[in-house]
Amino acid sequence: MRRMRICKRFICLFSALALWAAAAVNVSAAPAPAVRGPVAHEGKKLVALTFDDGPHPKYTAEILDILAEYGVHATFFVIGKNAEEHPDLVRRELAEGHEVGNHTEHHYHTGQIGIGTLRRDMEACEATLLAVTGQRPTLFRPPEGVDNAAIRQAAEDMGYRTILWCVDTRDWAHNPVGNIITNVERNTVNGSIILMHDFIAEKSPTPAALRRVIPMLQASGYEFVTVSQLLAG
Ligand SMILES: [Zn+2]
C-alpha cells in the first residue's frame, strides 16, 4: 500500500515536471508575432511611415527632401545591394533622424527560397549596413511581407523584430496618387504603420503622394515617428 502511494506521488511529480517542461519548450519555441500595427500606446496620435526597397538615387533623395521639408521622420527598410551602390543615401537617412531596417541583401521571392538562404541573405544585408553605417539594424521586414513562424524565428534568433504594416498604400502597384491618398485617409488610425516604397519600377507615384499624405495626416493631428519610436510609445 505504502509502495503504491509512493509510486502515485512519483507519477504526479513526473507529470507535473513533464507539463512544466512542455510549457517551457512551447514558450521558448514560439517566436513573437510580427508587428503589423496599429500599435497601441498612450497619449499623442502617432503614425509611422515606412519605405521599402531603396535606396534609389533619384526617388530616395526626393523622399528625403520631402520628409526634411515637413520635418518628419520615417523608417527605411533597405535592400543591401542597393545600399552598397548608394551608401551615401543610407548614411543621409540616419544623419537626418530616420531609422534603417534590414530588408535582405537581394530581395529574393521569400516564399520560393529555403529558410537557410533567407537567413544568409539577412546576414549579408546586416553586414552591408554595418559596413556602410557602423550600426547594426534591429528591425526586419521580410521581402513581399511573407510572414511565418520559421521566418520570424530566424529574425528573432538574429536579434530582430519583424515589422509588417497595417496600411498598404499599394504604391507598388503604381496606384494613382489620388487612390493612395484615399487609401491612407480611410485606413490610417492612431498607431498605424504605413507601407510605401522608395521605388518599384518606371515612374514612381510615391513622392507626389507623400507631398499630400504628410500634410493631410498632420492636419488630422498625427505626429510622424520611426517604427522604434512607435513601439516605444
Ligand atoms: Zn520589398
What is residue 205's DSSP assignment? Answer: S
Q: Are 68 and 96 in contact (CB under 8 A)?
A: yes
Tell me the per-residue pLDDT of 84-94, one tens digit each, with 9 for 90 and over.
Answer: 999 999 999 99
Q: Cα separation of 45 and 220, whole Å?
A: 9
Give me the pLDDT at residue 152, please.
97
User: Residue 89 in contact with residue 64, Cβ under 8 Å?
Assistant: yes
Catalytic residue among 41, 52, 121, 157: 52
Distance (angstroms) between ligand 1 centre and the Cα of 108 equals 9
The pLDDT of residue 22: 47
- Ligand 1 mean position to 196 CA, how many Å? 10
**74 and 187 inside one domain:** yes
Residue 67 lies in a domain: yes
- In this predicted structure, the answer to whether residue 7 has a pLDDT above a threshold of 50 is no
Residue 23 shares a structural domain with residue 129: no
Q: Are residues 98 and 186 in the same domain?
A: yes
Q: Label residue 43 by pLDDT band (50, 70, 90).
A: confident
Identify whether 88 is a catalytic site residue: no
CB 155 within 8 A of CB 126: no
CATH of the domain at 108: 3.20.20.370
Range of the domain at 74: 45-231
Co-location of 13 and 102 in the same domain? no
Are residues 136 and 203 located together in one domain of the fold? yes
Highest mean pLDDT among 11-15, 101-105, 173-177: 101-105
Does one domain contain both 134 and 157? yes
Asked whether residue 36 is assigned to any structural domain, the reply reads no
For 163-217, write each residue's pLDDT tens digit: 999 999 999 999 999 999 999 999 999 999 999 999 988 789 999 999 999 999 9
Q: Do 5 and 64 belong to one domain?
A: no
Q: What pLDDT does residue 201 have? A: 80
Number of domains observed in the structure of the chain: 2
Residue 182 C-alpha cell reads as 484615399
Distance (angstroms) between ligand 1 centre and the Cα of 180 equals 18
* Same-domain check for residues 177 and 64: yes
Determine the pLDDT at residue 5.
52
- The predicted model scores a pTM of 0.88
Q: Are residues 121 and 170 in the same domain?
A: yes
In a domain, 38, yes or no: no
20 plus 81 within the same structural domain: no
Residue 40 placed within a domain:
no
Is residue 157 annotated as a catalytic residue, yes or no? no
pLDDT in tens, 139-172: 999 999 999 999 999 999 999 999 999 999 999 9
**Residue 19 confidence class, pLDDT cut points 50, 70, 90:** very low
Model confidence at 28, pLDDT cuts 50, 70, 90, reads low
